[in-house]
Chains A and B, each alone.
Chain A
Amino acid sequence: MKNFWNKIYDWFNSRLDLQDVVGFIGKKYVPVHRHSVWYYFGGVSLFLFIIQVITGILLLFYYKGSSDLAFESIQFIMSKVEFGWLIRSIHSWAANLFILAAFIHMFSVYFSRAYRKPREITWLTGMLMFFLALAFGFSGYLLPWNELAFFATKVGTDIMTAIPFIGTPIMEFMRGGEDVTGATLSRLFGFHVALFPGIFTVLLAVHLILVQRQGMSVPIDMENIPADEKKTMPFFPNFLLRDLLLWLLVLNVLAILAVFFPAHLGEKADMFAPSPEGIKPEWYFLFMFQTLKYIPAQVLFIDGEILGILLFGAAGLLWTLVPFWDRRSAKGQSSRFVTYLGLFAVIFIIVFTIVGWLA
């Protein structure tokens, strides 16, 4: 048997020079220290993305992307298709856990300054994937074409019009017209199942190849330990097996959530019905949405909503560009300011998410 596999390997190896690839993948070590637990969250995000791709493709086999058929096709998936309820519920739950895992991954990278030279590009691709994850969430939310989704999409796209000059064209581009209609559904469906996955896959490939080439980052305060005291663990197989165990646990959590809290469908969207109460964006947009409510209508001649949107845009840009303005991390020092800024962001997001939930 061993011989058989060896033959197969040899057949490919003689054509592709596999030993280079095996060497590239095989030589990676994971630093072992008291913050090692954070190294797992990138892998968890990756696993949840894979789950999304698989369940998403399965849903595509039955979903019909048009305003006349979308709601009914999901009803069909939930009630007639064998395990349709399970696949849709897993897709819905994994979406939320994916964004949660990405949040944790992003903040752990931020606080350990893992974005510092030479890993700026890894951070940038990661941030782009994070914004794409939010876009995935926004575009996927409308696809069931139910009341909540319809009005949430109306509100979410209407907020765009507050942006000066380009706001209204952006809204019309997102809506595929002036109003949220079947054209909006077609458009967001195209984004959700073709454009975003395509871009995401390319970014993910770059992200992973860079991690593989540059190895794992060590927190700044651990860098100066003498080499003989540095503990590491081989990625293959030691760390990978731990990763896989965690993946298995996450899969179990997903199954439990999907079985006990299956995804709702609610009422079909009706353009000529009053909006229902309790229109809320998904939890990962809540903190921004809630903040907009607290900004007064007028702040020194500027419309409050415009100010809020521009502030969030600026904050997102500042956050994305942190490897380029946090000069001290490149020299191997951690600046207090960066830490406090990160803590402020974490606390701000948690507080306003909770306030938004209770509102």
Chain B
Amino acid sequence: MNDKGHLPEERRTFLKYLIGGGLIGFAGSVLYPLFAFLKPPKQADVEVTSASAGKLSEFEKGTGKIVRFGNKPLLVIRMPNGEVKAFSATCTHFDCTVQYKKDLEIIWCACHNGKYDLNGKNIAGPPPRPLDEYRVVMKGDEILISKKA
């Protein structure tokens, strides 16, 4: 203490920084857990390498079905000529789920009338990108779908 009852200047500055810094650190240690809590934890994605789409003999020509691939929907189509194709079923526009339209021979998204041809290419409506294609392998009568390398 000097004679005016004040702390010496440098000690005062030091204390100011100490308290200020301490407060900032404290605020950080309160806010960080809050924001960290709000961020959803990364769920251990079941790394799926392949999924079964059922038996070929039970899969009618000219139909499509949605197949689970981990937690993503895939659209598996059996073309009128018997060939099987698989695409991601998530529309590239706004995330709706697409379906096979037999009468037009296209892949169609009901949400905003987006259209893809049977190679997954976006041909009409709002979709900005083609659908990802998946690989189809036959194992006897069973259809196996896997990611394209």
Contact = CB atoms under 8 A, between A and B. Distances in A.
B110 A275 contact: yes
A120 interface: no
A266 to B, nearest CB: 14
A154 B94 contact: yes
A293 B112 contact: yes
Nearest to B68: A272
B109 to A, nearest CB: 7
B95 A173 contact: no
A273 B66 contact: yes
The B contact surface, by secondary structure, is loop
Contacts of B97: 151, 271-275
B40 A275 contact: no
Nearest to A159: B94
Interface in A98-155: 151, 154-155
A176 interface: yes
Contacts, number: 59
Interface in B59-116: 66-68, 71, 73, 89, 91, 94-99, 109-112
A288 B109 CA distance: 21
B38 interface: yes
A181 B89 CA distance: 17
Range of interface residues on B (Cβ < 8 Å): 20 to 34
Interface in A56-84: none
Interface string A144-175: 00000001001100110000000000001101
Contacts of A273: 66, 97
A164 to B, nearest CB: 16
Contact of A274 (B40, B71, B99, B126): B99
A302 to B, nearest CB: 14
B29 interface: no
Contacts of B40: 172, 175-177, 183
Contacts of A277: 110
Contacts of A50: none
Contact of A154 (B38, B89, B96): B96
A179 interface: yes
A3 B91 CA distance: 73
B38 A274 contact: no
B28 interface: no
B2 interface: no
A43 to B, nearest CB: 37
Contact of B95 (A155, A181, A183, A272): A155
Nearest to A271: B73
B128 interface: yes
A275 B111 contact: yes
B95 A154 contact: yes
B57 interface: no
B68 A158 contact: no
B89 to A, nearest CB: 7
21 contacts: A151-B111, A155-B94, A155-B96, A155-B111, A159-B94, A172-B39, A172-B40, A177-B43, A272-B97, A274-B89, A274-B97, A274-B98, A275-B96, A275-B97, A275-B99, A275-B111, A277-B110, A278-B110, A279-B96, A279-B112, A297-B128
Interface of A: 151, 154-155, 158-159, 172-173, 175-177, 179, 181, 183, 271-279, 293, 297
